[in-house]
A and B are shown apart, each in its own frame.
Chain A
Amino acid sequence: NAGVMQNPRHLVRRRGQEARLRCSPMKGHSHVYWYRQLPEEGLKFMVYLQKENIIDESGMPKERFSAEFPKEGPSILRIQQVVRGDSAAYFCASSLMASGGPDTQYFGPGTRLTVL
């Protein structure tokens, strides 16, 4: 049973370019969460998605950032016109269900984005 997959593992972009980060949840999981980890800090919530729906995007910057989780295919976190401050590790997590219960989020290996 494959875990949460993320690609690429490392991504280098120049300022002004676009970054696309992909996340395939664990088999059977329909809830996806994106977190960002700046150097020497804990993870910060960005966005929570179910298939074809954004449930909570309260942690995501209003500009340049967007996320989707289509009916088919992986979840995508897209950062347009990247700046140096976007350099961080981006983690995706998936869970089986969200409401109630000790539902556990399982994390992917992360994508380390470096903006030159």
Chain B
Amino acid sequence: AQTVTQSQPEMSVQEAETVTLSCTYDTSESDYYLFWYKQPPSRQMILVIRQEAYKQQNATENRFSVNFQKAAKSFSLKISDSQLGDAAMYFCAYRRAGNMLTFGGGTRLMVKP
């Protein structure tokens, strides 16, 4: 079975600084997708960024980028120029070419003004 591990229960960053959230996963599949979702206090799950495993180029979305290391099964999220609105729970998720998402346990990000 696939597993997703987020080893940092909490992270803190100063406003305007950069922070990296870690995620590792375990799978025997070669074709899969990886996602980062943000869950603010409203509890809405918001897609931040996604990565296809077959793509070598790391995905970027504005201030958000990933470092995808397929051989190491690592998928970290970098947030640049952190803003107060970035404070939330962040969940890493895996999805094989099929259907359901498998989520990590989450990292709570705090942003200090």
Contacts and interface: CB of A to CB of B under 8 A. Distances in A.
A44 B103 contact: yes
A43 B43 CA distance: 11
A45 B99 CA distance: 10
Interface of A is mostly: strand
A106 interface: yes
Contact of B44 (A48, A99, A110): A110
Contact of A109 (B44, B47, B100, B106): B44
Contacts of A104: 35, 47, 50
Interface string B88-113: 00010001011111111110000000
- How many interface residues does chain B have, given as a range? 20 to 34
Interface residues of A, number: 26
Given A41-B105, A42-B105, A42-B106, A106 B100 contact: no
Interface string A2-40: 000000000000000000000000000001010100000
Contacts of B105: 41-42
